[in-house]
Amino acid sequence: MRSRRLVQIRRTREWLAVCAAIALIPWTVYLGLTLPQSYSARHWQLTWVGFDILLLVFMIATAVLGFVRHHLLTLFAFTTGVLLVCDAWFDVLTAKRGDFAVSVLAAALGELPIAAVLIFGTLRIARLQVSPLSRTRWPSRVRAVGVRRGPSGRSAPSMRARRPDERSAPSTR
């Protein structure tokens, strides 16, 4: 019963994500057609300083969680990486002519490489935390070994996973 309820919740979340993505398409087109080329924003300093404080909090949390090896590290590291990508994006696109080169260099040499390490590192950790039987859903070079064919012809993967370059041991059966 509990399992059925969890599946229902998961499906509802998936459909909500699909519906939100579909709704975002016309909204993005609308914004692209109606937003002015330039805009004077109120609270400009608060916006940027607030974002940088948020980024700083996530960077510190990522470091602390890494040092204490907390299980929430992957969540915070991934979020920090995404925030760094957003920071680079907005730094470059809102830079004045005189600041553009500095913004591009900061993004290319600082923010984006750190973001890549954080994002791809957490994806690797997440892939390694998945049980070997369900790794077939993850795009990786790891595959199951010791696949036996039963009387029905179906395969039954073993509990152990190996890399493609690893040779399988001869069967003792």
10-residue mean pLDDT profile of the chain (173 residues): values are 85 95 95 90 93 97 96 95 97 93 96 97 86 62 46 48 50 46
Tell whether 105 and 27 lie within a shared domain. Answer: no
Tell whether 73 and 25 lie within a shared domain. Answer: no
Tell whether 22 and 91 lie within a shared domain. Answer: no
Cα angle value 158/161/163 (rounded, 5°): 140
In a domain, 155, yes or no: no
Tell whether 22 and 94 lie within a shared domain. Answer: no
Q: Domain residues for 2?
A: 1-34
Tell whether 56 and 6 lie within a shared domain. Answer: no
pTM of the model: 0.69
In a domain, 94, yes or no: yes
DSSP conformation letters of 96-121: -GGGHHHHHHHIIIIIHHHHHHHHHH
Tell whether 62 and 110 lie within a shared domain. Answer: yes
* Length in residues, the chain: 173
The dihedral over CA atoms of 121, 123, 124, 130, expressed in degrees to the nearest 10, equals 150
